[in-house]
Every structure is written in C-alpha cells, then in structure tokens.
C-alpha cells in the first residue's frame, strides 16, 4: 500500500485487499441517535451496536479476518488436551518470537492477571513506558504500583517526535537506584503505547532498556498487543532499521524481551491471548495459573477455531502490506482533520485517530469529563462511536478524589481492514462540523459510578440541556440528511 503513487499526485492510502463479505450498516436520524445516547447514559460503551454507524470504539476483536484465517478455522482440532491446533500455534509463536514456552489465555487482561499474580507483591514497583487500564488494575489489585517513565515528549499532544512511546532511560536508572532492585519485579514496555495515542517505541530504545535491565538483573516484559503498528513505525521511521524485514525487527524485539504477552484480539486479528518466554522457571511459575483461571494448557480459555486464526494472523502480521493499512488510514484521517483545524494527536500513531478534547472543548472542566462529553457529542452528530480516554478512564483515589488524567482524548479507533476511505471521509466531515459547533457541547456528571473500571459501565447525564441543542443545530444545518 505504501509504495503506490498516484499519477495525478493526489496520494491516498490504497487498500491491498478486497472485500468479500460485507455487513449492512444502519445510520439512524440524529433524533434517534440522541435518544440512544441518553439511554446509554452518555457512555459510548453502553450503546447497542445496531444503533452505531461506524464503530470506532476499539480495535479489539473487530479487525477483519483474512480468507486464510477463516479457512484455517475449519481445520481446528477440538480436543481438551493435546490439540493439534495448540501445537500449530505454539510452533508459529516459536518461529516468529523464538520463544520455547507458550501459555494460552482467553485475552490480554487474562495474561496480565497471571503475570501480576505471579510477579507483583505488595510494595512492588513496576516501571513502564505508560500504563494500560487493565494492566494497572491488575498490578494495583496485587498490591503493586505503576511508575511511568516516559520522555516529556510523550505527553505533548503535538510533536514531531517519531517515538513518543520510548522509555526514559535516565528515569529508569534513577527509579531502580532509588527503590532498589528487589522492589522491581519487571520493566514493562508496551508496543504502540495505547493510552497516549498508539505511539511507538524505537528498537534502539528497547536495546537501551534491555541494557539497563541486564545491568541490574531485572526482567524485561513486552506487552505486544499493538506490536503490528509499532513494527510498521520502526520500519518507516527508524533510519537504522530501513533495511531490516518486519520479521527481523520482530525477532530482535522478541530476543530483547524475557516475557512477551499479547491480546490476540489485536495482534493476530482474532480473539485470544498468549504469554511466551524461553525461561523455564518463569514458565513454570505461571503455568498453574493458566489451568486455574483459563482452562487446560492446550487451549487456555480460547476456542480452538480462534487459535487457528491467530496462528495465521501472526504470520500475516509479518507482511508489511498488511500491517501498514491501519497506520496509513489513521495518518490520512489525522491529516484531513488537521487541515480543518481539529486538534488531534500528532504524529499519527497506530490504533486510531486521537482527538484532543482538552483543546476541542476547552470550556469543559476536567471533572466534567471533556473527553466523555466529546465522545457522546460525536456519536449524536454522526453515529460514529469513539471511546473516552481521559479522566473517566481513571479511578478515584482512596479518598474519592478525582485523579485528573494527563490527557483528555477521544479515540476513534481504526479496526484493521474494516472501513473504506469514503467512510473515513464521512467521519472527518462530521467531526469537522462538530468542531465548528464545539461551543454547544457541555459537561457530564455520573449518575451511577462503579468503583473499578468505571468507564465500562458507568452511567452519566449532561450538566445542562446541551445535547438537545446540539441535535437541533445539526438538524438545522443538515436539513433532512441523516
């Protein structure tokens, strides 16, 4: 896809696949979208998918599968123990990552549960480039804390730094020196750093982190859920890696990691999870937890059909023409929104287009959830469902005080190979209209607030009548258009 230039110079990302199965979409009139949003408690997680036109909530479990993945699913070997499908997936993981031992789990957070239960103790400190919601919850549940050690660039919404997901090496050293090696069970690097906008780390940064880990004898753990985007960015943006193949880059990253885990709802474009390592002690410590929480060791809570699809999906991830589709569509969307003045995270990352709500609705205070309000407004005026990634996604501290997020983002995820370019143009058009009408958007407050991972199930309401006014303005501007 990246190598195709258009004769008339109007370069757009070109899909290197064709559509063979389609799903009909439903675009409700704005009045019905408003009603659906009200019923969902202004929480996009609680919308019914039949009321959503473009589901840009997440890239998790919703990436398009290939014909080969679907075909492989028919060959799955259904058996409780010793399934041939398990062996196939184990061999593929060993071939790609060079890791001897593979522990299956039903999804990414299940891997985090096992890893945290085994390695995190009360008082543990776990350094990482940035936290992910489920990662942090599991670490905290086991009595540990998370220390984010990024460069200042990571939180700059607009930057031209190619690797905002890098670990700050000096801070890592300081943290180890200050707290002592014994308190640190592992250093975690997250590929395609999710919560700061799908931003990658560089291969050189990972080598530097590993060097520090080796000096102090600390384990390096890789969360590879968003590895495919990170691989693409290393190949595109890291001068010294230009001549490496995706497979070679993957292998070096894997060699630098003692333990790798991933959500196969993202990596591998299916649904499942995996932990792998070549360290037998580490493997043995985690093994019993798989049978306790997930299932027998040869399926770990996954359907064997999905395991077949993951094996093929991992192989397809080694194809640059496959992994570049997401990042290139995202770059297109980010650039088109920028042209219309909409504040977005730059440089474009993986995973999705991230709209900067802190600036988009700078009149909404953080304790009224600007990103949550913007996500609700986007749905009302377009039927596009995004996800709040800001203060609502944080957890109150023990005293019930809001922890204000560093960033207030609305993530418009780009499930891989799912949308066409005209659909992306539609989303751009509506978000740009909303930006011109941003003063109509108001805040939100909780009506029902769960104490753990509140963003999933929490219900909110508007702090004024703004949603009705916004829908009315849409109707006035768009006439009888949907």
Q: Interface mask (CB under 6 A) for ligand PLP, residues 240-279, using x and -?
A: -----------------------x-xx------x------
Of the ranges 86-94, 159-167, 223-231, 356-364, which one interacts with ligand PLP (CB under 6 A)? 223-231
Taking the least distance from each CB to ligand PLP, the nearer of 33 and 138 is: 138
Is the link from the previous residue into 185 a cis peptide, with omega within 30 of 0? no
User: With contacts defined by CB under 6 A, how many residues of the chain interact with ligand PLP?
Assistant: 16
Nearest to 262 by CA among 309, 310, 226, 299: 226
Site for ligand PLP in 13-72 (CB under 6 A): 60
Alpha-carbon distance 206 to 125, whole Å? 20
Q: How far is the CB of 406 from ligand PLP (least distance, A)?
A: 17
Alpha-carbon distance 202 to 238, whole Å? 7
The answer to whether 326 contacts ligand PLP (rule: CB under 6 A) is: no
Taking the least distance from each CB to ligand PLP, the nearer of 256 and 413 is: 413
Alpha-carbon distance 281 to 310, whole Å? 26
- Neighbouring-strand partners of residue 445: 461
Of the ranges 96-104, 219-227, 248-256, 412-420, which one interacts with ligand PLP (CB under 6 A)? 219-227
The answer to whether 474 contacts ligand PLP (rule: CB under 6 A) is: no
Residues with catalytic roles? 80, 132-133, 223, 266, 389, 455
Q: Is 420 exposed, middle or buried (0-12, 13-18, 19+ CB in 10 A)?
A: exposed
Q: Which of 51, 55, 148, 223 binds ligand PLP (CB under 6 A)?
A: 223
Give the contacts of 11 (CB within 8 A, at least 6 positions apart): 5
Determine the length of the chain: 482
The answer to whether 303 contacts ligand PLP (rule: CB under 6 A) is: no
Of the ranges 48-56, 102-110, 317-325, 466-474, which one interacts with ligand PLP (CB under 6 A)? 102-110
The answer to whether 225 contacts ligand PLP (rule: CB under 6 A) is: yes
Q: How far is the CB of 301 from ligand PLP (least distance, A)?
A: 11
Taking the least distance from each CB to ligand PLP, the nearer of 60 and 179 is: 60
Residue 166 CA, distance from chain mean position: 16
Taking the least distance from each CB to ligand PLP, the nearer of 137 and 346 is: 137
The answer to whether 190 contacts ligand PLP (rule: CB under 6 A) is: yes
- Neighbouring-strand partners of residue 167: 150
Taking the least distance from each CB to ligand PLP, the nearer of 45 and 216 is: 45
> DSSP string spanning 210-270?
HHHHHHHT-EEEEE-TTHHHHHHHHHHH-GGGTTS-HHHHHHHHHHH-SEEEEETTTTTSS
Q: What SS3 class is residue 55?
A: strand
Taking the least distance from each CB to ligand PLP, the nearer of 15 and 147 is: 147
Taking the least distance from each CB to ligand PLP, the nearer of 226 and 249 is: 226
The answer to whether 417 contacts ligand PLP (rule: CB under 6 A) is: no
Q: Which of 114, 209, 213, 226 binds ligand PLP (CB under 6 A)?
A: 226
| Backbone φ, ψ for residue 422 (5° rounding) | -70, -30
Taking the least distance from each CB to ligand PLP, the nearer of 274 and 376 is: 274
State which residue has the least CB distance to ligand PLP: 108
Contact call for residues 10 and 422 (beta carbons, < 8 A): no
Helix axes 370-382, 30-39, angle to 10 degrees: 140
Q: What is the DSSP secondary structure assignment for residue 62, as one 8-state letter?
A: -
Q: What is the DSSP secondary structure assignment for residue 57, as one 8-state letter?
A: S
Site for ligand PLP in 110-169 (CB under 6 A): 132, 134-135
Look up tokens 């990170």; give the residue: 230
The answer to whether 108 contacts ligand PLP (rule: CB under 6 A) is: yes
> DSSP string spanning 154-219?
GG-SB---S-TT-B-HHHHHHHHHHH-GGG--EEEEETTBGGGTSBPPPHHHHHHHHHHHHHHT-E
The answer to whether 343 contacts ligand PLP (rule: CB under 6 A) is: no
Q: How far is the CB of 15 from ligand PLP (least distance, A)?
A: 24
Q: How far is the CB of 135 from ligand PLP (least distance, A)?
A: 6
The answer to whether 194 contacts ligand PLP (rule: CB under 6 A) is: yes
The answer to whether 109 contacts ligand PLP (rule: CB under 6 A) is: yes
Strands annotated E in 83-227: 101-105, 125-128, 145-148, 186-190, 219-223
Q: How far is the CB of 265 from ligand PLP (least distance, A)?
A: 4
Q: What SS3 class is residue 219?
A: strand
| Backbone φ, ψ for residue 181 (5° rounding) | -60, -35
- What's the angle, vertex CA 25, arms to CA 72 and CA 304, rounded to 5? 20
Residue ranges binding ligand PLP (CB under 6 A): 60, 107-109, 132, 134-135, 190, 194, 223, 225-226, 263, 265-266, 273
């Amino acid at each position: 896809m990246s190598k195709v230039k258009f004769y008339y110079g109007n370069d757009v990302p070109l899909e290197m696949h064709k559509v063979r199965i389609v799903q009909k979409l439903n675009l409700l009139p704005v009045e019905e979208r408003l009603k659906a949003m009200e019923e969902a408690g202004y929480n996009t997680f609680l919308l019914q998918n039949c009321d959503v036109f473009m589901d840009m909530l997440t890239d998790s479990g919703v990436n398009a599968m290939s014909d080969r993945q679907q075909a492989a699913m028919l060959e799955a070997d259904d058996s409780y123990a010793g399934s041939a499908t398990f062996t196939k997936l184990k061999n593929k993981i060993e071939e790609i990552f060079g890791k001897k031992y593979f522990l299956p789990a039903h999804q990414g957070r299940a891997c985090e549960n096992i890893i945290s239960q085994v390695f995190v103790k009360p008082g543990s400190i776990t350094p990482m480039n940035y936290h992910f919601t489920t990662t942090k919850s599991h670490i905290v549940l086991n009595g540990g804390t998370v220390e984010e050690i990024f460069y200042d660039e990571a939180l700059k919404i607009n930057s031209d730094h190619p690797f905002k997901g890098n670990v700050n090496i000096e801070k890592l050293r300081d943290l180890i020196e200050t707290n002592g090696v014994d308190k640190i069970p592992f250093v975690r690097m997250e590929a395609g750093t999710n919560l700061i906008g799908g931003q990658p780390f560089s291969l050189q940064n990972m080598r530097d982190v590993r060097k520090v880990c080796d000096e102090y004898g600390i384990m390096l753990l890789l969360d590879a859920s968003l590895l495919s985007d990170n691989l693409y960015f290393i190949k595109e943006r890291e001068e010294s890696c230009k001549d490496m193949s995706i497979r070679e880059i993957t292998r070096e990253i894997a060699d630098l990691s003692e333990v790798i885990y991933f959500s196969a709802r993202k990596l591998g474009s299916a649904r499942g999870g995996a932990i792998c390592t070549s360290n037998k002690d580490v493997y043995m410590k985690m093994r019993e937890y798989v049978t306790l929480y997930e299932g027998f060791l040869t399926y770990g809570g996954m359907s064997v059909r999905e395991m077949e699809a993951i094996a093929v999906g991992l192989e397809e991830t080694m194809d640059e023409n496959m992994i570049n589709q997401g990042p290139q569509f995202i770059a297109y969307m980010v650039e088109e929104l920028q042209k219309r003045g909409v504040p977005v995270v730059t440089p474009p990352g993986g995973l999705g287009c991230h709209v900067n709500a802190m600036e988009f609705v700078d009149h909404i205070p953080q304790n009224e959830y600007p990103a949550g309000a913007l996500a609700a407004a986007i749905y009302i005026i377009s039927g596009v469902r995004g996800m709040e990634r800001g203060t609502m996604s944080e957890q109150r501290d023990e005293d019930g005080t809001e922890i204000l997020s560093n960033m207030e983002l609305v993530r418009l995820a780009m499930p891989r190979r799912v949308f066409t370019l005209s659909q992306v143009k539609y989303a751009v058009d509506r978000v740009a209209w909303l930006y011109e009408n941003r003063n109509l958007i108001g805040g939100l407050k909780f009506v029902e607030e769960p104490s753990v991972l509140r963003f999933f199930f929490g219900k909110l309401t508007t702090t004024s009548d703004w949603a009705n006014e916004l829908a009315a303005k849409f109707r006035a501007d768009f006439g009888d258009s949907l």
